[in-house]
Amino acid sequence: MKKRFISMFVWMLFTAAVLTAGGQEEAKDEKTELTFWHTFQDAQQAAAVQEIVDLYMEKNTDISVEVTVWDGDQAKTVFGPALATNEAPDIMYTMSNDEMLGVFAEAGYVIPLEDAYEKYGWDDILPAHTKTSCYKNDRLYGIGHELDILGVYYNKVIFAECGLEVPEDYDEFLNVCEVLKENGYIPIAFANQNGWPAYHQQSFFYNNIVGKEQLHKDMFEAGSFDRPEYVESIEYFLEWIEKDYVIPDTLSVTYNDGNAMFNTGKAGMHTTGLWAFNSFYDALGDDIGFFQFPQIKDDKPAINPGGIGSCFTVTSNCENPDLAFDFLDFLISSDVAEIWLSGSIIPGVHLTDQQVDSYAMPPLFRDIVKAVNSPAGFGFNVDIYMTAEVNEVTLNVLQEAIAGKKTAEQVIAEIDAAWQISK
Amino acid sequence: MSAGNRNPDGYVFILPALILYVLFMFIPMIKTVLISFQDWGGSGTVKVWVGIDNYIRLFTDIIFWKAFLHNVIWVIFTVVVPLIIGLILANILNGKVKAKIIFRVTYFLPYILSLVVVGIVWSWIYNPIFGNLNSFLTSIGLESLACGWLGNENTALLSLLVVGSWTAFGLCMVIILAGMQSIDPVVYEYCTLEGGNSFQKFFYITLPMLKNTLASLILFLTIGSMRVFDLVYIMTKGGPYHTTETMATYLFTKAFRNNEVGYGASVAVFLTLFVLMISFFYTRYINKKDA
Amino acid sequence: MSKLKIPTAEQIIKYVILIFSLFVSIMPVLWIIFAAFKTNMQIYENPFSFPPNLYLENFKTAWTQGRMGRYSLNSVIVAIPATSLAVFTSLLAGFGFSKLKFYGQRVFYFIIIIGLMMPTQAYIIPLFFTVIKYNLTNTYMGMILPRAAFGLPFSIFFANSFFLDIPDELIDSAKMDGTNNFQIFFKLMLPLSKPVVSTLIVLNFIWSWNELLIPLLFVFKDKMRTLPLGLMYFKGDYMIDYALTAAAVAISMVPIIIIYVIFQRKFIQGLTSGALKG
């Protein structure tokens, strides 16, 4: 009996100790502090960011920057509410879409940056397209970063084995798929349990069939998706499913598992973006190649969706915005471009081919960086610019189409309906 | 209750618990009801009173009713199946069995595991590429049955229901067994003397005498099934395209992902009222039968 | 009567059912534990099997780099106070409701019992914004207090049922001796309530240990995460290290399993005595 009370008493003591000790203790430094949250969760990427931050602190010894790395998924749920507390960071790296930056801007959690742009001359070093998605209600709230390009990664060894060459147009692309399939490989490592990989496939087809110009009009000038070209795009996409060119049971396979299929040499191609580059390269090294999505229509040049997805923002919680701007100026300058590139992140700052050639990086990555920096540019990554409602509908309706429950017409009808309501 | 004068001491005893409860549960409950009459985008945005608009939207929201249906299916499946398995196992263990304690301890194990753990473990089992289930089916020649369990609308919900039942059957067994063990063995002996066999004993003695235990168990499981969230969220997030959506996951998505807090709150209120209603009528029904 | 050496058909069937159910209960858990001791290659080759050799790297990595050590610590720091608070306050309240008389007693009890019916989702939304407003996010308090509160309806109900069964005469005679209610509670009731205490402690501890929703919403700093949350986000970056994840899962499971095995007899006793009252 006594034992029980003693143990209970110990528990109580422990409880009391914890309750009175409080949460965390923050060491108070003499230095001015900046807090910086980002979502570069990949180990290599996070290391690159930290290297840049350390460099900044070396140059500015009276400033200390506290970095917090976030899981991208949790960030979606939590960044918003976090901004309402006094724990909000000074600088936040966030997605520039409607659900994140749009909400933050409307709630007044982030401050406009037009003056900073002018003061630091960011317009001179950053291409105009890095700003497009950062405008909300005609005010500019973010500095676009992390250029991405969606394209086709392919396994050179498998291609050689099957006697295949990089396709020059879409018909050849389909042929490549067919040959891969015959040889027992998965042609395209597309896995859609998460739902969002389908966005990217949709973007490929929209840009190449509808064309960048029309797409621009419909997205930014509040047009309509109710056009035959959009329906055609979806049909082209669904053709992959019908012909079994993707991972079997694609709706049950997670994006990670899909990558695993590519990385273990089971799939010939993977149509996705740069964010997973490190995992491909670590697994397959120079056995991977990259090519742009092939031309589909004679009158529409081949173009890959790309651009920025996320941006740096300064929150209204920041006590010292000028300091934040100074830090950001350093972060996006070409001085540190090489460090970003070492983490396989393409910074927004414009780079010449010579600069790119001078940096150390895998040759494959170099090709991609040059492609991104080329004047031809890239197409739109549709889901970045769409509203939350449209994205939600798109995700579900594409899954239904993949399962054969909806036709391309139905898909477009539903997406357009959501767009008309929410634009 | 001892006859005596009313004593303010009572307040002191209940105060700590009451404060905690009111602060962290009761007041939020009231607030939820209030929010359900508003249109709110979350922190920092403006709250707008919209009266019963959210509820009107609720009644015509197909996805919500799909979620509701899934909850009903969930209740039926994950109450009936564990209960039956629990009855069978408890009945066996009530007799002469060796090493009872090993069985008792292991059957209950799935119930105490964190649902995150359960979700991860079973996601592996269901994995279409290297999961145990498909490997097993292939190895015994039933390769045609192997499919993408969690991504196929025809199998997703069922796959989750199996997991739900897996976590609960041990609980049922343990509670039913305890109930059985409180039945006086004399009654069984009398039945044997009268020439009764195992079946009759079970259906005419055991079951009726377990009525209260079963009733409580059914209510407990039902409430749990109406509220199910963790398992679904971890394994499918309500997908593919809402075929495993439940009211709780829908509520969560609306309030915390889509920034439609008011609407999410209305789902919460509906869910609560529904559970209250079921509990109320069920308890009345059980008590009536007793009288 | 001597036992027959040859089992009857009925007996065989019984044992088959029992053992099959045993297999079903425990195999999923065992598979993960086995996987934790293998390398990824070994898992790939043979997912079901017993590990060929006990590969410990996964555990080491999970504990340190994977921060499972940190998450476990956080889970402990949250679970113990939450459990103590919940159990102690509900014993007090249970006694108050069952043995004492005061105005509004029924009303208060009813208000608390509603909490049994309410799904968590009914109150989690405003609670989320309240926690944010009072800056309780990323604090231990922010996890302990709500978690303790959530355990109250059932714990109070349970304690109340138990105390109701204690004969009033016991208390009356103590009162005649002149002891006040507080002394009665601490000296008489608590010692008697051993069965319920075990059950309530184990239950509340398990609930707290397995709690996902609270940390999911109230904690976003990695160093404050508890096990279920840490586990949920335990993924490689665009690649899954299955062996590592298995080790993390194993680490999450072991404490609960140990506590359960130690306390299971008292725990089930207490649980079922309460359940029989309905």
Task: Give the ipTM.
Answer: 0.83
Among residues of chain C, what percentage have pLDDT more than 70?
92
Who contacts C166 (Cβ-Cβ below 8 Å, separation ≥6)?
Answer: C99, C189, C192
Task: Say yes or no to pLDDT of A288 above 60.
Answer: yes
Q: Buried b vs exposed e over A380-416: b needs ≥16 C-beta within 10 Å?
A: bbbbbbbbbbbbbbbbbbbbbbbbeebebeebbbbbb
Give the distance from residue B152's alpha carbon to the nearest chain C alpha carbon, in angstroms. Answer: 22
DSSP A126: S
Pairing relationship of beta strands A305-314 and A379-380 according to DSSP bridges: parallel
Residues in chain A, how many? 423
pLDDT bracket for residue B224 (50, 70, 90): confident
Q: What is the mean pLDDT of chain C?
A: 82
Which of B18, B23, B117 comes nearest C108 by C-beta?
Answer: B18
Q: How confident is the model at residue A22 (pLDDT cuts 50, 70, 90)?
A: very low
Summarize the confidence of residues B70-88 as an average pLDDT: 94
Tell me the per-residue pLDDT of A234-270, one tens digit each, with 9 for 90 and over.
999 999 999 999 999 899 998 888 988 898 899 999 9
- Chosen from C42, C83, C95, C123 to mutate, greatest number of chain B CBs within 10 A: C123
Nearest to A276 among C138, C224, C238 (CB): C238
Residue A43: count other Cβ atoms within 10 Å of its Cβ: 14
Would you say residue B50 has pLDDT above 60? yes
Name the E strands within chain B.
Answer: 38-40, 47-49
Q: Taking CB atoms and an 8 Å cutoff, what residues of chain C touch A14?
A: 80-81, 84
Query: In the sheet where A151-155 sits, what is the strand order?
Result: A186-188, A267-272, A151-155, A288-291
Query: A321: cis peptide before it, omega within 30°?
Result: no
| CB contact (8 A) between residue A403 and residue B240 | yes
* Minimal CA separation from B154 to chain C, in Å: 23
Query: Per the structure block, which two tokens stand in for A171?
Result: 């018909």
- For A154-169, write each residue's pLDDT tens digit: 999 999 999 999 999 9
In which element (H, E) is residue C175 found?
helix C168-176
Q: How many CA atoms lie within 13 A of A87 on its CB side?
A: 21
The answer on pLDDT for A414 being more than 90 is yes
Model confidence pLDDT, tens digit, residues B105-122? 889 889 988 888 898 889
Share of chain C above pLDDT 90, in %: 15
pLDDT at position C149 over 50: yes
* Contact check, Cβ <8 Å, B240/A81: no
Please say if the pLDDT value at position A27 is more than 80.
no
Nearest-by-CA chain C residue for B82: C21
Q: Residue type at C219?
A: V
Q: Is the pLDDT of residue C82 over 90?
A: yes
Three-state SS for B50? coil
Residues C197-246 pLDDT 10s: 888 888 899 899 988 878 877 887 778 888 887 777 765 444 567 788 88
Which of A67-71, A270-274, B212-216 is the most confident on average? A270-274
B209 compared with A224, residue with greater pLDDT = A224
Portion of chain B with pLDDT greater than 70, in percent: 96
Angle at A315 between CA A311 and CA A318, to 5 degrees: 135
CB nearest C81 (choices: A15, A82, A85): A15
Cβ-defined contact of A87 to C224 (cutoff 8 Å) = no
* Interchain proximity C102–B7, CB inside 8 Å: yes
The more confidently predicted of residues C44 and C18 is C18
The CA distance from C124 to the nearest CA of chain B, in Å, is: 7
The sign of the CA dihedral C77, C80, C85, C86 is positive
- Does residue C110 register a pLDDT over 80? yes
Strand partners, A312: A93, A143
Specify the pLDDT at position B135.
83
- Amino acid present at A381: N
Token pair belonging to B169? 């059957």
Report which residue type is found at A271. Answer: T
pLDDT at A28: 44
**Long-range pairs, A392-398, Cβ under 8 A, ≥24:** A392/A418, A392/B258, A393/A417, A393/A418, A394/A198, A394/A199, A394/A202, A394/A418, A395/A195, A395/A196, A395/A198, A395/A199, A396/A195, A396/B239, A396/B241, A396/B242, A397/B241, A398/A192, A398/A195, A398/A198, A398/A199, A398/A202
What is the pLDDT at residue C237? 43
**C169 to chain A nearest CA, in Å?**
23
CA dihedral C5, C11, C16, C22 (to 10 degrees): -100
Alpha-carbon distance of B209 to A407, in angstroms, equals 57
More confident of the two residues A287 and A71: A287
Of the two residues B182 and B11, the one the predictor is more confident about is B11
